[in-house]
Structures are given as C-alpha cells and as structure tokens.
C-alpha cells in the first residue's frame, strides 16, 4: 500500500514540476522583448501541445542567444574598432559618395545598422559564374603582397575549395599574412579534413566561426544553430568580394541532385574593401587572440573616381529587425521596377505587405525562386505566400536551371543590393550576414541583365494554378508557414 502511495505522490510531484516548467517557459516567452507576437503565439502553442518536445525545442531553439561570453567579447571587439574613426586618405574628394537625394535615406538605413557611411571611388566587376569567381580569386591571392583575409560559411574540399586552399598556402609561403575563417557547421567537411591541417602547417592562420564543440554542452552556451553565413574576402585592403557564393564547386556534390548552385558574386576595388575589412576584423577578433584593429587605421589606398557603395552587416548581436528594415526600405522606394531573387522566402508580415504594396502601386514587381529547393520545409513555407503575392500583382517565377542561390535586388535601374542574406527569418534573426548596397546605373543594369538571364530560364507561376492547388497541399504549406516564426 505504501508503494502505491509513494508512486502516486511521485507522479503528482512530477506532473506539478512539469507544469511549473511549462508555465515558467510560457511566461518567459511572453516577457521576452523584441519578439513578433506571432512568434510568441507559436511558441506558446508548441510548449502546450508538445509537453516534453516543446520544452526541449524552446530550450534549444527558442531564443537568439550566442552565449554571454561570446556576446560580451563581440561587444568589446566592436567598441575597440569603431567604424567612424578617421584614417589618412578619408579626406579624398573621390571618397565622397555621389547619391541623389531620393536615395539617400536608403543609405541612412544602412548606416544605422552597421555604422558604415556610403563611400565613393569604387570599381566593380560582376563575375561571369562560380568558376570564374574562384579562378579570379586564386589569381588575386597569388598576386597579394601584404595580406589575404577570407571568411566563408561553406568551404568544401572539392576542386574550387582546394584551389583556394592551395593559393593561400602559396601566399603564406612567400610571406603574405593569410587569415582564413569558416563556419564550424557549414564548413565542417573542410575543417575536419587533412587540408585544414595542411593550411595550418603552411602558415595560414585559421579560425572556426561559432565553434560547436560538444553539442550537448554547447546548448548551455547559446543556440547551436546561430551561424556565420557571411562570404567575405579582403586582399591587400583594396580588393574585396561580395555575393552569395560559398567556397565550393557549382556542382555542390554534398547536394548534387539540386545542382548546379547558381550564384552572383561581384569583385570590388576601392575603399569599400575597408568596410568589409571591419566585418572580417570583428568576426576574427571575436574568436582569435589576434588583435588586427590597427589595420583599420592604415592610410586608405589611392582613391580614384568610381561608384558609391556601402557594406551592410547584420547578425544576432545587431539590433532586431535590421535586415527586414533594409529590404522594406528598398521595396517601398521602388517607383518603376523591382526585381528580387532569393532561394529562401519566409518573410515576416511587414515584408510580405511591402511586396504586395509595391505591386499595388503600379511598380513592376518580380520575384524569382528556385523551382526545386534543397529545403522542402522552406519551399512549402514559401509557396504558402504565393496566393497573396499573385493577387496583389506580384509576378512570381521559378528558376529551373538548378538551385538559384543568388540573393539580389534591383530597383528602378539605379539601386542594387547583393550579398549573403536571404529573405527568411534565419537571415533576419539567426545568421551573421554581409551585403553591399550600391548606387550605380551601370552596375545595376548589369545585375538586372543577370536577373533577366534567370527569368529566361524560369517558369512564370500561373495564379489560376495556385488557386487550384488541392486542399491537402495548401494545408501542408500553410501549416509549415504557421511555424515559420519558430523555424
């Protein structure tokens, strides 16, 4: 009898403890600042509907937290390398951006995010394809005289990845300082290969961004899925690359059935490289005891007349909603044409409304997605938004020539944004991203031509087809989209 009584007491205490934990987590969800009300509701539903799984899911994925120690170190690094410091050469008249008044507010948004002001005196070359990027990058590394700084989310030990690794080893052997950083999750294949050790042995200074370590213990120090998604290259403080491409073959053999990966990358020369240098330095010094902030005070290389551009760097330690604000400001500024490419579209309510409003006010609004996405979950969530976009007059195209991985935006033939950020909540809230905002009719037209190439290889989505999707398909899409705030 006592055994039965003890069992009842134990069960009652277990239930009481479980309910207490549930309600404490629900209270924490409701009190957490800077959270979308829909995200609050989604998490409350998950915690209640999945008594054990919901609690575990929230503890693992519920909060944007890189860990107190990492956050403190990042703040200390950023305080050490302010973006507004004066350096010799910044009084050059060619550095002053030439941006019409109608677009200056866009660059003010960028400045409010990263602290970088737009700079003139830049020259840009839109690379032909992924292999062209790697061939040119290797040539630039081989020609480097002082330093090579490189950061990629994914770095694979395939042909292109190894060509870059070999170029870094050659540069290090002749006395060029080479620093290479890769995300510990995205680049795990390279990091755990013999080639990573070979680079270290050759004198390349290496770092792993957001190292995972023991996955169980890692959870105690912050979310494991907060990643550094940036793609940054800076060579001799004068050359930089920006775009969507990782350090890998376009065949992307780890997900070969979706290949080729179709990317857009631009090679820049000019003072915009210094802004990417800031991003690299902040990421590097947050992980490595190697103080390189003095490099940011070096005189700027000779500045010639050129286009105006601005680096926009975002991440979980930057203010909430920074990247959506940038996208929304651009979308609302369009007056004639707006063309967007993104592989992953899981917007917040404001971004979806901005796109619909663009089409409704008569702007030709086009958005291009890949027809076959490497994430079925994201693809389903994206398609849940099709009906509303199409009803508003947005033209949706699905690219059929591979996985369109390009993240690009052009508006009115004069302004463009390229970089690593997708139009999804992961890029908005969880990933470190880097983008460049550009004012240049010539370069924007070149990017628009590349977008047209994508359109020529795409199928336009028919509103009638979407309207006739069977109920089970709409149910799946909408259910997954409903969970978007917690994905």
pLDDT (tens digit per residue) in 148-200:
999 999 999 999 999 999 999 999 999 999 999 999 999 999 999 999 999 99
Residue 487 reports pLDDT greater than 60: no
207 within 8 A of 181, measured Cβ to Cβ: yes
Average pLDDT over residues 378-405: 96
Q: Residue 125 phi/psi, 5° resolution?
A: -130, 120
User: Tokens at residue 309, please?
Assistant: 């551009």
User: What confidence tier does 483 reach under pLDDT thresholds 50, 70, 90?
Assistant: confident
The reply to whether 257 belongs to the active site is no
The reply to whether 195 belongs to the active site is no
From the list 195, 348, 407, 424, the catalytic residue is 407
What's residue 220's pLDDT? 62
The reply to whether 236 belongs to the active site is yes
pLDDT digits (tens, 9 = 90+) for 408-460: 999 999 999 999 999 998 899 889 999 999 999 999 999 999 999 999 999 99
| Helix and strand totals (H; E) in the chain | 19, 19
From the list 32, 236, 293, 320, the catalytic residue is 236
From 74-83, 317-326, 329-338, 456-465, the region with the lowest mean pLDDT: 74-83
Residue 1 reports pLDDT greater than 60: no
From the list 149, 231, 238, 287, the catalytic residue is 231
404 strand-pairing partners: 262
Arithmetic mean of pLDDT over the chain: 91
Give CA–CA dist 431/317, Å, rounded: 10
Give CA–CA dist 110/117, Å, rounded: 8
What's residue 360's pLDDT? 98
Radius of gyration of the chain (CA): 24
Give CA–CA dist 202/175, Å, rounded: 11
296 vs 72, more confident: 296
User: Tokens at residue 154, please?
Assistant: 């994914």
From 12-26, 107-121, 305-319, 425-439, the region with the lowest mean pLDDT: 12-26
What's residue 84's pLDDT? 65
- Give the dihedral of Cα atoms 477, 255, 223, 426; nearest 10 deg: -50
The reply to whether 149 belongs to the active site is no
Predicted TM-score (pTM) of the model is 0.91
What's residue 219's pLDDT? 61
pLDDT digits (tens, 9 = 90+) for 236-280: 999 999 999 999 999 998 898 999 999 999 999 999 999 999 999
2 vs 45, more confident: 45
Task: With CA atoms as reference, report the closest residue to 357 among 340, 339, 334.
Answer: 334
The reply to whether 111 belongs to the active site is no
CA 366 to chain centre: 21
283 within 8 A of 432, measured Cβ to Cβ: yes
What's residue 485's pLDDT? 62
Residue 339 reports pLDDT greater than 60: yes
User: What confidence tier does 481 reach under pLDDT thresholds 50, 70, 90?
Assistant: confident
What's residue 34's pLDDT? 64
The 3-state DSSP class for residue 345 equals strand
From 1-15, 141-155, 233-247, the region with the lowest mean pLDDT: 1-15
What's residue 247's pLDDT? 98
User: Tokens at residue 483, please?
Assistant: 């969970």
The reply to whether 407 belongs to the active site is yes
Give CA–CA dist 271/121, Å, rounded: 7
From the list 229, 238, 278, 287, the catalytic residue is 229
DSSP state of 116: P
260: preceding bond cis by omega (within 30 degrees): yes
pLDDT digits (tens, 9 = 90+) for 24-64: 888 887 877 666 777 777 778 888 888 787 777 777 667 66
282 within 8 A of 317, measured Cβ to Cβ: no
What's residue 245's pLDDT? 97
């Amino acid at each position: 009898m006592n055994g039965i009584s003890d069992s009842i007491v134990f069960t009652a205490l277990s239930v009481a403890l479980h309910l207490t934990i549930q309600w404490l987590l629900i209270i924490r969800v409701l009190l957490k600042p800077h959270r979308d009300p829909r995200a609050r509701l989604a998490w409350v539903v998950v915690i209640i509907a999945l008594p054990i799984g919901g609690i575990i899911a929230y503890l693992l994925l519920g909060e944007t937290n890189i860990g107190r120690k990492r956050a403190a170190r990042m703040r200390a690094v950023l305080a050490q390398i302010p973006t507004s410091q004066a350096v010799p050469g910044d009084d050059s008249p060619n550095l002053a951006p030439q941006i019409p008044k109608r677009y200056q507010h866009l660059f003010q948004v960028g400045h409010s995010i990263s602290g970088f002001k737009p700079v003139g005196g830049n020259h840009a070359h839109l690379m032909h394809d992924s292999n062209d990027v790697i061939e040119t990058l290797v040539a630039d590394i081989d020609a480097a005289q002082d330093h090579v700084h490189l950061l990629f989310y994914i770095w694979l030990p395939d042909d292109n990845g190894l060509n870059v690794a070999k170029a870094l080893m050659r540069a290090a052997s002749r006395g060029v300082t080479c620093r290479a950083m890769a995300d510990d999750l995205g680049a795990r294949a390279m990091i755990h290969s013999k080639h990573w050790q070979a680079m270290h042995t050759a004198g390349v200074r290496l770092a792993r961004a957001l190292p995972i370590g023991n996955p169980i213990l890692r959870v105690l120090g912050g979310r494991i899925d907060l990643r550094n998604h940036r793609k940054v290259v800076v060579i001799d403080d004068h050359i930089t690359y920006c775009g969507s491409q990782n350090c890998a073959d376009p065949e992307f053999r780890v997900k070969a059935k979706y290949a080729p990966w179709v990317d857009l990358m631009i090679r820049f020369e000019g003072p915009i490289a210094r802004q990417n240098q800031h991003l690299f330095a902040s990421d590097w010094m947050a992980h490595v005891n190697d103080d390189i902030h003095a490099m940011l005070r070096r005189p700027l290389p000779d500045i010639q007349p050129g286009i105006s551009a601005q680096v926009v760097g975002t991440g979980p330690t930057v203010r909430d909603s920074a990247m959506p604000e940038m996208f929304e400001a651009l979308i609302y500024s369009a007056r004639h044409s707006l063309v967007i490419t993104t592989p992953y579209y899981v917007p917040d309510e404001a971004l979806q409304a901005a796109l619909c409003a663009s089409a409704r006010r008569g702007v030709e609004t086009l958005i291009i997605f890949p027809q076959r996405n490497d994430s079925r979950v994201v693809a389903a969530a994206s398609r849940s938004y099709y009906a509303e976009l199409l009803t508003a007059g947005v033209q949706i195209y699905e690219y059929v020539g591979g996985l369109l991985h390009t993240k690009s935006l052009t508006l009115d033939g004069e302004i463009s944004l390229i970089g690593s950020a997708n139009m999804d909540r992961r890029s908005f809230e969880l990933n470190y991203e880097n983008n460049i905002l550009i004012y240049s009719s010539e370069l924007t037209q070149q990017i628009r031509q590349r977008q047209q190439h994508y359109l020529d290889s795409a199928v336009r989505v028919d509103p009638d087809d979407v309207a006739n999707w069977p109920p089970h398909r709409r149910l799946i899409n909408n259910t997954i989209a409903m969970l978007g705030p917690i994905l």
